[in-house]
Amino acid sequence: MFEAFPIWVLVIDYILGVIMWTLIGRTGMNIFLAENSTFFFMRFFVRATNPLLRAFDFITPGFLIRPLVPLYVAWFFFLGRFYLMPWLLGYEVMGMLSFPLEGEIAQVIYQIGNKF
């Protein structure tokens, strides 16, 4: 995986991937907890993602319910990773596992599964 892409591509993809999954995690936590919860993970998700949500306020439609806004913003990061990055870098879009971050995670899961 590391030899397929320059290091700066991996760094950008990992950063965008972590942001995307953090926003998705906040959406998942919103199902069970309120935004002002004192639970450590919820406080982390809220603090880490509020600046991003504020930055995307200008394109966030007003009809979205507040707990789904992080998922809406995560969708933009997904689009950037799935369409914009390959187009800018000139490589093919081959599906979910062509993402370096998720590809690495899938390889680790596959290796763990082969040990049993």
Give the tens place of pLDDT for each residue, 2-50: 566 678 877 888 899 999 999 999 999 998 999 899 999 899 999 999 9
Question: Is 107 within 8 Å of 114 (Cβ atoms)?
Answer: no
Which amino acid does the sequence have at 1? M
Per-residue confidence (pLDDT) for residue 97, from 0 to 100? 46
**How far is 75 from 23, CA to CA, in rounded Å?**
9
Q: What pTM does this model have?
A: 0.77
pLDDT in tens, 40-80: 989 999 999 999 999 999 999 999 999 999 999 999 998 88
Question: Is 25 within 8 Å of 111 (Cβ atoms)?
Answer: no
DSSP alpha helices (H): ranges in the chain?
7-32, 40-55, 69-79, 85-89, 100-115
